[in-house]
Amino acid sequence: MPKSLVVVESPAKAKTIKKILGKDYIVESSVGHIRDLPKKELGVDIENAFAPKYVLIRGKGKVVKSLRTAAGKVDNIYLAADPDREGEAICWHLAEELKKTKKPIHRITYNEVTKSAILDAIETPGKINIALVDAQQARRVLDRLVGYLISPILWRSVKPGLSAGRVQSVAVRLICEREAEIEAFKSEEYWTLTATLTPIAVEHPFPAKLHKIGSKKGEINNYGFRIDEARAKELAADAKTHDYIVEKVQKRERKQRPVPPFITSTLQQEASRKLRFTAKKTMLVAQQLYEGLEISKEGSVGLITYMRTDSTRIAQEALQAVRDYIKTTYGTEYLPGRAVNYRGKKGAQDAHEAIRPTLPLRLPAELKPYLNSDQYRLYELIWMRFIASQMNPAIFDATTIDVKAGTYLFRATGSVIKFDGFRRIYMEGKDDTAADETDSSEENVRLPVLKEGDRLDLRKLEPKQHWTQPPPRYNEATLVKMLEAQEIGRPSTYASILSTIQDRGYVNKERGRLLPTDVGRLVNHLLIHGFPNIVDVEFTAKMEEQLDTIADGKVAWVKTLGQFYPPFQIALAEAPDKMYEARKAMEEESDEKCEKCGGNMIVKWGRYGRFLGCANYPECKSIKPLTTDDTPAPEPEETDTACDKCGEPMVIRVSRAGSKFLSCSAYPKCKNAKPIPMGIDCPEAECDGYLGERRSRRGKVFYGCSNYPKCEFSTWDKPVPETCPECNAPFLVEKTKKAKDSETVTALLSCYRSDCDYTKG
Whether 155 contacts 162, CB under 8 Å: yes
Report pTM.
0.81
Q: Over 80: is that where the pLDDT of 742 sits?
A: no
pLDDT tens-digit map of 150-180: 999 999 988 888 889 999 999 999 999 999 9
Q: Which CATH class is domain 152-184+472-584?
A: mainly alpha
Q: For 321-339, what is the mean pLDDT?
A: 97
Q: Over 90: is that where the pLDDT of 555 sits?
A: yes
E strand map for 200-277:
206-213, 216-217, 244-256
What are the residue ranges spanned by the domains of the chain? 4-128, 152-184+472-584, 189-257+394-467, 264-389, 588-625
Residues 6+ apart with CB under 8 A from 242: 405, 406, 408
Q: For the structural domain made of 264-389, what CATH number should be given?
A: 1.10.290.10
Question: Please, which pLDDT band fits residue 660 given cuts at 50, 70 and 90?
Answer: confident
Q: For 22-31, what is the mean pLDDT?
A: 96
pLDDT tens-digit map of 371-404: 999 999 999 999 999 999 999 999 999 999 999 9
Q: Among 3-7, 40-44, 743-747, where is mean pLDDT lowest?
A: 743-747
pLDDT tens-digit map of 249-305: 999 999 999 999 999 999 999 999 999 999 999 999 999 999 999 998 888 999 999
Q: Over 60: is that where the pLDDT of 730 sits?
A: yes
Whether 212 contacts 218, CB under 8 Å: yes
Q: For 188-192, what is the mean pLDDT?
A: 95
306 is catalytic: yes
- Say which of 190, 244, 290, 306 is annotated catalytic: 306
β pairing state of 244-256 and 732-738: unpaired
Whether 195 contacts 239, CB under 8 Å: yes
Q: For the structural domain made of 4-128, what CATH number should be given?
A: 3.40.50.140
DSSP result, 285-336 = HHHHHHH-EEEGGGEEE--B--SS-------HHHHHHHHHHHHHHH-GGGS-
Q: Which CATH class is domain 189-257+394-467?
A: mainly beta
Task: Give which of 83, 86, 82 is closest to 136, Cα–Cα.
Answer: 86
Q: Over 70: is that where the pLDDT of 1 sits?
A: no
d(CA 42, CA 49): 14
Whether 508 contacts 701, CB under 8 Å: no
- The phi, psi pair for 409, rounded to 5°, reads -120, 120
Task: Give which of 148, 123, 152 is closest to 46, Cα–Cα.
Answer: 148
Give the model's pLDDT for residue 159.
85
Q: Over 80: is that where the pLDDT of 532 sits?
A: yes
